[in-house]
């Protein structure tokens, strides 16, 4: 079961991760939480190792948990601060928050709902679902042809570099996780085919390079 879990949220604040985990526990939703160290950032004078907290859930629970987060925020929201930035948003921009909920926090989503209702501009469920489906369709579209990476991948693969294997594998297998938990290939089919070829050539190239090194050391 654990292997089917997908990344739902990633935090660098343990308190935020803990809030989500408590919500999942309360609603009997299975999850896994992974703690990992982030790489050192030399651009900050007082930089230190940071910790990354990733919460994963089953793809089938994405929609339910997103709604639970919004419901939780709506229930706990106090009055809207008079200087809150969402007050400057027009109705179309607020509706866009509801459509692209994955790009906004649950608090912003809940506030957008409240403001739209106060303005009498909240779209009906059918219209909102239609707009959300259009957004999901746009996310399903794979990236443009990766000509440069394909060329680089073949070069590294032929030269016996491990980088060729990574590029080939990434082009072949990479998937994007949509807000509803669905996964879609990140690259067009022709690029995935190139990725498969690069990966195979890369394996041959690495084996040849290793064999040549062994032969020279005999």
Q: Express each pLDDT in 117-145 by its tens digit.
A: 989 999 999 999 999 999 999 999 999 99
Domain boundary among 140, 164, 195: 140
Instruction: Verify that 48 and 98 share a domain, yes or no.
Output: no
Instruction: Verify that 178 and 204 share a domain, yes or no.
Output: yes
Instruction: Verify that 179 and 208 share a domain, yes or no.
Output: yes
Number of domains into which the chain is organized: 3
Contact 181, 66 (CB under 8 A): no
Domain boundary among 140, 167, 183: 140
> Which residues are CB-neighbours of 158 under 8 A, at least 6 positions away?
164, 201, 205
Q: Express each pLDDT in 72-84 by its tens digit.
A: 888 877 777 888 8
Instruction: Verify that 152 and 205 share a domain, yes or no.
Output: yes
- Tokens of residue 49, six digits: 């190792």
- Whether 45 shows a pLDDT value over 70: the answer reads no
Q: How confident is the model at residue 153 (pLDDT cuts 50, 70, 90)?
A: very high
| pTM value > 0.85 | no
Instruction: Verify that 153 and 168 share a domain, yes or no.
Output: yes
Residue 124 lies in a domain: yes
Query: Domain range holding 173?
Result: 147-217
Which residue in the block uniquely carries the two structure tokens 């990966």? 199
Contact 53, 175 (CB under 8 A): no
Give the DSSP per-residue string, 193-211: HHHHHHHHHHHHHHHHHHH
């Amino acid at each position: 079961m654990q292997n089917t879990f997908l990344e739902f949220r990633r935090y660098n604040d343990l308190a935020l991760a803990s809030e989500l985990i408590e919500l999942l526990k309360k609603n009997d939703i299975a999850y896994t939480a992974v703690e990992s160290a982030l790489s050192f950032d030399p651009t900050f004078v007082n930089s230190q190792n940071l910790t990354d907290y990733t919460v994963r859930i089953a793809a089938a629970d994405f929609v339910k948990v997103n709604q639970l987060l919004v419901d939780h925020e709506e229930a706990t929201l106090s009055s809207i601060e008079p200087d809150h930035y969402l007050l400057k948003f027009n109705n179309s921009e607020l509706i866009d928050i509801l459509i692209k909920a994955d790009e906004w926090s649950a608090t912003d989503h809940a506030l957008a709902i409240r403001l739209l209702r106060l303005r009498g501009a909240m779209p009906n469920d059918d219209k909102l679902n239609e707009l959300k489906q259009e957004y999901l369709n746009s996310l399903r579209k794979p990236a443009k042809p990766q000509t440069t990476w394909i060329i680089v991948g073949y070069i590294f693969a032929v030269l016996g570099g491990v980088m060729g294997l990574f590029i080939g594998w990434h082009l072949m297998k990479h998937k994007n996780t949509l807000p509803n938990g669905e996964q879609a290939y990140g690259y067009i089919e022709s690029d995935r085919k190139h990725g498969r070829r690069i990966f195979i050539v890369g394996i041959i190239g690495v084996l040849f390079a290793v064999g040549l090194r062994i032969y020279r050391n005999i």
